[in-house]
Amino acid sequence: MRVGLFIPCYVDQFFPSAGMATVELLENHGCDVAFPEAQTCCGQPMANAGCSGDAAAAARHFVDTFSGYDYVVSPSGSCVAMVKHQYPKIVGNAASSVVSKTYEICEFLLDVVKVTQLQASCSKLVAIQMACHGTRELRLATGSERPALPTFSKPRQLLEMVDGMQLVELQRPDECCGFGGLFSIDEVDVSCAMGDDKLSDFQQARAELVVSTDMSCLMHLGGLSSRQDRGLKFAHIAEVLNGDWA
Amino acid sequence: MTEARTSILAALRENRPKGEADLVLEDIAIQYEDPFVSFSAMMKKNGGLVVAMDSADSAVADFANRCGPDGVLLEGELAVAENAAIWIPFRDEAERARPFLAETLAVIVRRADIVSNMAQAYARIGTGELPGYGVFMAGPSKTADIAQCLVIGAHGPIEFVTYLV
Amino acid sequence: MKHPEAAAGFVADSAKSSWHDQALWGVRTKRDAAVSAIPEWEELREQGARIKAWSLAHLDDLLVQFEAQCQQNGIVVHWAADGPEHNRIVHGILAKHRVKKLVKSKSMLTEECGLNEHLEAQGMEVIDTDLGERIVQLRHEPPSHIVLPAIHLQKEEIAETFHKTMGTPADMTDETELTRAARKDLRERFLQAEAGVTGVNFAVADKGIVVVCTNEGNADLGAGLPRLHIACMGIEKIIPKFDHLSVFTRLLARSATGQPITVYTSHFHKPKPGGEMHVVIVDNGRSALLGRKDFRRSLGCIRCGACMNTCPIYRRSGGHSYMATVPGPIGSTLAPSKDPKTHDSLPFASTLCGSCTDVCPVKIDLHQQLLAWRGELVKMGYGDRKKIRSMKLAGKVLSSPTLYKLAGIGARIALRGPRFVLPSEAKKWLTNRDLPPVPAESFRARYRRHQK
Ligand code: SF4
């Protein structure tokens, strides 16, 4: 199967190892991965700023770039949610060629590739930073708001396939980290207060490494942690699943 | 008055969402094997007292001992297991505020009148003649308006006793 | 002032902001526990949403039916197009009965209309009787939450208010003693009141019943003691059938406070013998909102407050930072429909985390509405112009692979350079946060090597 890889703009520039881990994971599980060089951004920053016209231009470009692949996979739940939930609203029918075949990496590995084991180990105490759009839009896990439903978590299910994995339990497992794109700038005070609370939750649980399906959360949390010398490490879930944190 | 009525209704007609399908609701509400047990547990959680009695007469006697003249004793028509609410229809109309002024309020309900859930409760109430005023009561009055600290006894009764007969 | 500045003020007192966050998270936790006890919860929410959607599609008919039923039961029905008309009607009824003192139980609608101020200006004494509302009334503040009006205050602050206004000992900070003091003070006022005003949680069209849900018993005392009862409701409080009450009474308290039901669920069907009951039906912008397809579902709100308790922004910024009658996620979608200019920062006071949408007992798509509002506001010309210009530029860059590559290289160089060359947004980022170290190679570069 031909998989078109979508790497969000900030991952391309700042977190190349998250992107590479995604490539290797997919290739090791038999996918024929291609990274179309013409790709830019899913358009989420513009859409979230209320500029849906400008987001539409980016969205059309995304559709043109990716419509020829069997699947589109991305190591960003937030971008995937944008494609699946917002594209139909902003570019209408044009979106249909990508909407149903675009996947976040964890759901792709479990639901399409049907991965049951991984060649990876990890020696750290790991906390999962459940990114909001992954939880509440892509439904990668049962949100804490819906306790009457059966509990599952795709990121957790995959992490548990990693040798030696020790996951810690948070007091508020899926509370928002406070990034929120432009929110992190517009509402800088609330954003940082939220991030600080998250960091404290990781630390009370004795986590050493924080993993997430979205690097954007980790860019914000990592930025706060590093400024305060909290000593936490951060990694994209694909890196851990790929054995980069053995 | 009529002017506002006319303009509101006209605006609502104009802006009315179209194509809403018929409203048919399935019966989904939880059923309890032993409604009596659930009711009692819930009432305790709500801060009320549950006293099992063999007859209404012994309940009246217990009530006289327990509360003296300041208490009010009422009859409940049905009770609900899922939340310990007791339906109290006010057919004697002069009584409306009296139970809310009492320090202790006691209610007699027949065990046989405990239903599982609110859907069953409303279905039953709806078949009879509705009172001018009726209240589901589920324990003593309470508030947490001061710093989220629970206090039993706000404006209404401070003590709530249920006699199940 | 806009939300970010108002929020910054609240967050600056980090001990209090964190206490506020935890107090409300506690309510959210209780809600979760109550919800877990109901296996059919998600279906129940669906039913709640469907009844509300159906009601909104038949509001005109339902209101007419409700009016006829009420009249048959001896209840007088009034219609008000807006807040001022509502206030005039209520005042007119009170004046006719020569009322000087009245008690009021919680009603966000009268708050929205400014009823207290209106009546007080005409020489009437209005006493809010819900404990939380009484506390903020004594402090001359607006409520900061629709279910927990005084949640922004700690015990000591309330003790001080009671000391100043009711003469309780200055060091009396125990919640039970404070509550008892208020009970005693208000009991007198209930007995003296010549009229009671209540809000309405649900108005049942097929029977002409008004349902009021409280925990304290204040609405029943206020409606039951004086001869005159006036219930004020927005047009959206209508539900079609008596049976539908079961769905909403099952949803409301569990969502609001985690109780299985409010202590009192009171059904007013007829005036008391020798008494009078009036219902005032108010539009005040609601019929216009019904015409806006992206936003009309917000009219289904049953005012449980769950979206506030779960909102990570609300919990840390406090209700007053919204500067709207209804704060939090639902307030942030309701407020701009009335006055987009004043409230243009509210739809942006969200990370769009979606927690509000998932707790809402009637499944209002709150975070989607906030996103849609952003678009509307930009179209109307509100919001931050500078940001919009930069988005226009970003839009161009991001739809062009060449420009995008150039911009990427530019950003990497800029971020290695001294901070003063950064745009103001990056400076804001850097006040409390570091940027990630810039790697030697971008993903693209590494991928190209990997391919060889
Ligand atoms: S929008 Fe939903 S969650 Fe928020 S107050 Fe209304 S009903 Fe409750």
- How many residues does this entry show for chain B? 165
Chain segment C28-79, per-residue pLDDT in tens: 999 999 999 999 999 999 999 999 999 999 999 999 999 999 999 999 999 9
How remote is the CA of residue C359 from the centroid of ligand 1, in Å?
Answer: 8
Is the pLDDT confidence value at A52 over 90? no
Average pLDDT, rounded, for chain B: 94
Q: Is C147 in the pocket of ligand 1 (CB under 6 A)?
A: no
| pTM > 0.90: yes or no | yes
Check whether C417 has a pLDDT greater than 50. Answer: no
> CA–CA separation, C359 vs C347, rounded Å?
18
User: Binning pLDDT at 50, 70 and 90, where does residue C419 land?
Assistant: very low
**Ligand 1 in contact with C211 (CB < 6 A)?**
no
The pLDDT score that the predictor gives to residue C418 is 45
Residue A221 within a domain: yes
Q: Are strands A71-74 and A125-129 parallel, antiparallel or unpaired?
A: unpaired
Residue C433: pLDDT band (50, 70, 90) is very high
What's the pLDDT tens digit per position in C228-257? Answer: 999 999 999 999 999 999 999 999 999 999
A73 and A181 housed in the same domain: no
- From the CA of C330, give the closest atom in ligand 1: 1
The predicted pLDDT at position B20 comes to 75
- Please tell me the predicted confidence (pLDDT) of residue C394: 63
C360 Cβ inside 6 Å of ligand 1: yes
How many separate helices (H) and strands (E) can be counted in chain B?
5, 10
A229 and A132 inside one domain: yes
List, for residues C122-155, the tens digit of each pLDDT value.
999 999 999 999 999 999 999 999 999 999 999 9
| Residue A235, in any domain of the structure | yes
Q: Does C319 touch chain A (CB under 8 A)?
A: no
User: CB burial class (10 A; 0-12, 13-18, 19+) of residue C174?
Assistant: middle
Closest approach of A6 to chain C, Cα-based (Å): 11
Q: Would you say residue A138 lies in a domain?
A: yes
For chain B positions 70-129, those within 8 Å of chain C (CB to CB) are: 80, 82-85, 93-94, 96-97, 100-101, 117-119, 121-123, 125-126
Give the CATH number, domain containing residue B60. Answer: 3.40.50.10420
Residue A154: pLDDT over 70:
yes
**What CA–CA distance (Å, rounded) separates C259 from C34?**
7
Domain, as residue range, for B64: 30-164
Nearest CB to C179; choose among B7, B97, B143: B143
Alpha-carbon distances, residue C423 vs C19, C40, C436 (angstroms): 35, 51, 17
**Minimal CA separation from A189 to chain C, in Å:** 6
Rg of chain B over Cα atoms, rounded to whole angstroms, equals: 20
Q: Which of B16, B29, B46 sits opposite C57 (nearest CB)?
A: B16
Judge if A155 and A55 occupy the same domain.
Answer: no
- What pLDDT shows up at residue C430? 87
Strands B86-90 and B133-137 come out as antiparallel
CA–CA dist B139, C289 (Å, integer): 39
CB proximity under 8 Å: A 214-233 to C: 219-220, 222-224, 226-227
**Domain ends where: A112, A133, A168?**
A112
Considering the domain architecture, whether residues A80 and A129 belong to the same structural domain is answered as no
Contact A143 C355 (CB under 8 A): yes
Residue A188 domain boundaries: 125-241
Rounded average pLDDT over A44-71:
92
Predicted pLDDT of residue C147: 97
Q: Which of residues 339-358 of C touch A (CB under 8 A)?
A: 347-355, 357-358
| Structural domain includes residue B122 | yes
Which atom from ligand 1 is nearest to the alpha carbon of C366?
1
Structural domains for chain C: 3-9+293-383 (1.10.1060.10), 38-284 (3.40.50.10420), 386-451 (no CATH)
Question: Cβ separation of A226 and C359 shorter than 8 Å?
Answer: no
Q: Which of C312, C391, C436 sits opposite A15 (nearest CB)?
A: C436
Q: What's the C386 CA to ligand 1 centre distance in angstroms?
A: 33
Chains in touch with B (3+ beta-carbon pairs under 8 Å) read C
Q: Quote the number of domains for chain A.
A: 2
Give the residue carrying structure tokens 């809402």. Answer: C360
Query: Ligand 1: which residue has its CA nearest to atom 3?
Result: C360
Is the Cβ pair B15, C54 closer than 8 Å?
no
Tell me how far apart the alpha carbons of residues C251 and C258 are, in angstroms, rounded to a whole number.
10
Q: What is the whole-number distance in angstroms between the Cα of residue A151 and the centre of ligand 1? A: 24
Residue ID of nearest Cα to ligand 1 atom 8: C304
pLDDT of C391 reads 65
Q: Report the pLDDT averaged over residues A106-111.
A: 98
- Nearest-Cα distance to chain C for A77, in Å, is 12
- Give mean pLDDT, residues C285-291: 97
pLDDT band with cut points at 50, 70 and 90 for residue B93: low
* A120 in a structural domain: no
Verify B-A touch: 3 or more CB pairs within 8 A. Answer: no
How much distance in Å is there from the Cα of C249 to the middle of ligand 1? 14
Nearest partner of C155 among B154, B149, B143, judged by Cα: B149
On whether residue A12 sits in a domain, the answer given is yes
Strands B159-164 and B49-52: parallel
* Contact call for residues C337 and C380 (beta carbons, < 8 A): no
Sign of CA dihedral C30, C34, C37, C40: negative
* Ligand 1 pocket, residue C311 CB under 6 Å: no
Q: Strands, DSSP E only, in C283-357?
A: none
DSSP annotation of A163? B
**How many angstroms does the Cα of residue C362 sit away from the middle of ligand 1?**
7
- Measured from the CB, is residue C331 less than 6 Å from ligand 1? no
pLDDT score at C420: 45
Q: Is residue B23 part of a domain?
A: no
Which tens digit of pLDDT belongs to each residue from B41-61? 999 999 999 999 999 999 999
A96 and A162 fall within a common domain = no
Same domain, A71 and A135: no
A163: tokens are 């040798």
Above 80 in pLDDT, residue C395?
no
Whole-angstrom Cα distance, residue C102 to residue C118?
13
Residues in B closer than 8 angstroms to C176, CB to CB, are: 151
The answer to whether residue A246 sits within a structural domain is no
Note whether C364 contacts B: Cβ–Cβ < 8 A. Answer: no
Q: Tokens 């996947």 belong to which residue?
A: A103
Radius of gyration of chain C (CA): 25
pLDDT at C383: 72
Q: Do A61 and C377 touch (CB under 8 A)?
A: no
Do A60 and C399 count as a contact with CB atoms less than 8 A apart? yes
B90 in a structural domain? yes
State residue A62's pLDDT score.
Answer: 95
CA distance C386 to chain B (A): 35
Instruction: With a cut of 80, say whether residue A117 has pLDDT above it.
Output: yes
In ligand 1, the atom with minimum distance to the C-alpha of C328 is 4
Across chain C, mean pLDDT equals 93
Report the residue among C362, C365, C369 best suited for mutation to probe ligand 1: largest number of ligand atoms under 8 A from its CB. C362
Interface of C with B in 224-283 (CB under 8 A): 224-225, 235, 240, 242-247, 249-250, 253, 257, 259-273, 281, 283
Average pLDDT, stretch A219-237? Answer: 97
Quick one: A140 and A104 in the same domain? Answer: no
Whether residue A148 sits in one domain with residue A82: no
Q: What percent of chain C has pLDDT over 90?
A: 87
Within-domain flag for A119: no
Distance (angstroms) between ligand 1 centre and the Cα of C237 equals: 13
| Interface contact B143, partner C, CB < 8 A | yes
Report chain C residues whose CB lies below 8 A from the CB of B125.
242
Residue A45 inside a domain? The answer is: yes
Tell me how far apart the terminal alpha carbons of chain C are, to the nearest angstrom: 57
Nearest CA to ligand 1 atom 4: C307
**Ligand 1: which atom is nearest the Cα of residue C302?**
7
**Residue C336 CB: number of other CB atoms within 10 A?**
26
The whole-number pLDDT of residue C36 equals: 97
Query: Is residue B24 in some structural domain?
Result: no
- For residue range C170-179, list pLDDT tens digits in order: 999 999 999 9
Is position B139 within any domain?
yes
Element (DSSP H or E) covering residue A174: none
What is d(CA C332, CA B142) in angstroms, rounded to the nearest whole number?
30
Q: Which of B1, B131, B155 sits opposite C217 (nearest CB)?
A: B155
What is the number of other CB atoms lying within 10 angstroms of the CB of residue B123? Answer: 15
